[in-house]
């Protein structure tokens, strides 16, 4: 069997997505992958179209690991978000093809189901703790058991560039002291209102220094968060030692990593409890299962990144891997813009707290290319930036 064509499709049903379709010499046999990198979509599309797609023509689509090694090591330039997202798009499409050839869902190819569904969490962000509590109650009524709680932090100056934002970020400049006071107060209020049962995650989004992160982890420990996510910036990973020493609050990290080696010190030193890598940004399922296997040996669990800025194809890949691995922790779930349903079919579905995929062959997802063509790329959809009250750059 041979790859005959690799198509790169950029579509924006509500948000921008970069999709990869790998076609074969077998009639009607193709695979879809997702290569979306929020705010850098066209760089990935160009890497695929101009550099990687031509290398795939004529290759055997069944040799996934060999193709992965060839594109990662054999072409010399490796790593980084652009190349690893491009590689993920190809990897996902190849796993989709392999599943279709075998007549099996990808989770079955990965060893078969270890669970009935992937415990899912829902974003319940709000302007204040009261709004978050209301959102959690509504999500509980819908069946969710795990929730993410983000809130606006009062500060001094209105932040103009707020069109794109959800409450992952703040509509005002970021100041560390108000933030460090606001988050424990938020947890205290949520526990008072909702009791001990709801499992609550908070995403720091890389905004603190290690000592501040340690202080926050200690301050929220008695409210037993599910985990505290990305407490510090991702570059100097050894700084997590300081955060770890400060408390027994579970820690999660990894959505900015691009391959297993970036995860290594955090896993092998047991500095985190959950790996948050994004399957669309680490070279796909092939890399995800290796990271999961390394993490399993160190009692670290997987909590794959699942924001709406990656396509439903990656969300399906998340659940296929979640279903197959032994050390699954929790799966971030997202609400997509309504238009997404015009373009994508077979996304994971939610049932009583869990995300599930059908037993359809491959990833079980498909793309309506005619519908996709109705949603051209949106250049105005750009990542927001965040600044401090004094005007200096802050990690978004």
Q: Which residues bind Mg ion (CB under 5 A)?
A: 203
Q: Which of the listed partners (Mg ion, ligand CS2, none) does 41 bind, with a CB threshold of 5 to 8 Å by partner kind?
A: none
Q: Which of the listed partners (ligand CS2, Mg ion, none) does 239 bind, with a CB threshold of 5 to 8 Å by partner kind?
A: none
Q: Which of the listed partners (ligand CS2, Mg ion, none) does 125 bind, with a CB threshold of 5 to 8 Å by partner kind?
A: none
Alpha carbon dihedral 333, 369, 58, 67, in 10-degree steps, equals: -10
Residue 166: CB minimum distance to ligand CS2, A: 7
Sign of the CA dihedral with 350 first, then 355, 356, and 361 last: positive
Residue 40: CB minimum distance to ligand CS2, A: 10
Nearer to Mg ion among residue 16 and residue 38 (C-beta): 38
Q: Which two three-digit tokens encode residue 54?
A: 């031509």
Nearer to Mg ion among residue 231 and residue 362 (C-beta): 231
Nearer to ligand CS2 among residue 178 and residue 307 (C-beta): 307
Residue 16: CB minimum distance to ligand CS2, A: 11
Q: Which of the listed partners (Mg ion, ligand CS2, none) does 38 bind, with a CB threshold of 5 to 8 Å by partner kind?
A: ligand CS2
Nearer to ligand CS2 among residue 256 and residue 371 (C-beta): 256
Scanning the structure block, which residue is given the tokens 């069946």?
143
Residue 228: CB minimum distance to ligand CS2, A: 12
Residue 211: CB minimum distance to ligand CS2, A: 22
Residue 325: CB minimum distance to Mg ion, A: 20
Q: Is 291 exposed, middle or buried (0-12, 13-18, 19+ CB in 10 A)?
A: buried
Alpha helices in 103-239 (DSSP H): 106-109, 129-141, 176-194, 210-220
Nearer to Mg ion among residue 41 and residue 203 (C-beta): 203
Alpha helices in the chain (DSSP H): 41-46, 53-56, 64-69, 81-102, 106-109, 129-141, 176-194, 210-220, 240-246, 260-268, 285-297, 312-324, 340-343, 369-373
CB 363 within 8 Å of CB 96: yes
Alpha-carbon distance of 243 to 232, in angstroms, equals 9
Sign of the CA dihedral with 320 first, then 321, 322, and 325 last: positive
Q: Which residues bind ligand CS2 (CB under 6 A)?
A: 38, 168, 203, 205, 255, 305, 307, 309, 332
Q: Which of the listed partners (Mg ion, ligand CS2, none) does 332 bind, with a CB threshold of 5 to 8 Å by partner kind?
A: ligand CS2
Nearer to ligand CS2 among residue 38 and residue 286 (C-beta): 38
Alpha-carbon distance of 323 to 318, in angstroms, equals 9
Q: Which of the listed partners (Mg ion, ligand CS2, none) does 14 bind, with a CB threshold of 5 to 8 Å by partner kind?
A: none
Q: Which of the listed partners (Mg ion, ligand CS2, none) does 260 bind, with a CB threshold of 5 to 8 Å by partner kind?
A: none
Nearer to ligand CS2 among residue 64 and residue 213 (C-beta): 213
Residue 200: CB minimum distance to ligand CS2, A: 14
Question: Rounded to whole angstroms, what are the CA distances from 209 to 123, 176, 242?
Answer: 25, 9, 10
Residue 377: CB minimum distance to ligand CS2, A: 17
Question: Rounded to whole angstroms, what are the CA distances from 22 to 6, 151, 345?
Answer: 5, 42, 17
Q: Which of the listed partners (ligand CS2, Mg ion, none) does 244 bind, with a CB threshold of 5 to 8 Å by partner kind?
A: none
Alpha-carbon distance of 314 to 143, in angstroms, equals 23
Alpha-carbon distance of 198 to 169, in angstroms, equals 23
């Amino acid at each position: 069997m041979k790859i005959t064509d690799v198509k790169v499709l950029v579509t924006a049903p509500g948000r921008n997505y970069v999709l990869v379709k790998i076609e074969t010499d077998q009639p009607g046999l193709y695979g879809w992958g997702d290569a979306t990198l929020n705010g850098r979509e066209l760089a990935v599309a160009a890497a695929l179209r101009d550099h990687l797609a031509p290398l795939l023509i004529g290759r055997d689509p069944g040799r996934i690991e060999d193709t992965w090694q060839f594109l990662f090591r054999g072409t010399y330039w490796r790593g980084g978000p652009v190349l690893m997202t491009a590689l993920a798009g190809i990897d996902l499409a190849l796993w989709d093809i392999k599943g279709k050839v075998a007549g099996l869902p990808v989770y079955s190819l990965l060893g078969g189901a270890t669970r009935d569904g992937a415990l899912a969490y829902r974003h319940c962000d709000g302007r204040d703790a009261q709004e978050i509590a209301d959102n959690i109650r509504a999500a509980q009524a819908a069946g969710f058991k795990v929730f993410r709680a983000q809130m606006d932090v009062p500060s001094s100056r209105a932040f103009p560039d707020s069109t794109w934002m959800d409450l992952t970020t703040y509509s005002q400049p970021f100041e560390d002291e108000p933030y460090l006071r606001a988050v424990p107060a938020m947890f205290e209020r949520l526990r008072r209102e909702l009791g001990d049962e709801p499992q609550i995650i908070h995403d720091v989004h890389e905004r603190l220094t290690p000592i501040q992160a340690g202080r926050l982890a200690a301050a929220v420990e008695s409210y037993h968060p599910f985990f505290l996510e990305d407490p510090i910036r991702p570059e100097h990973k050894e700084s997590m030692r300081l955060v770890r020493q400060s408390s027994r609050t579970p820690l999660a990290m990894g959505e900015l990593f691009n391959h297993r080696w970036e995860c290594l010190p955090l896993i092998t030193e047991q500095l985190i409890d959950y790996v948050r890598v994004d399957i669309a940004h680490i070279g796909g399922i092939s890399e995800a299962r290796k990271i999961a296997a390394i993490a399993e040996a160190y009692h670290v669990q997987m909590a794959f990144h699942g924001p709406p800025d990656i396509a439903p194809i990656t969300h399906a890949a998340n659940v296929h891997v979640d279903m197959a691995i032994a050390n699954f922790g929790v799966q971030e779930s997202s609400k997509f813009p309504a238009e997404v349903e015009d373009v994508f079919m077979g996304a994971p579905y939610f049932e009583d707290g869990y995300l599930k995929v059908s037993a359809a062959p491959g990833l079980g997802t498909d793309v309506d290319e005619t519908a996709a063509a109705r949603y051209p790329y949106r250049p105005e959809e750009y990542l927001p930036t965040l600044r401090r009250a004094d005007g200096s750059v802050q990690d978004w």
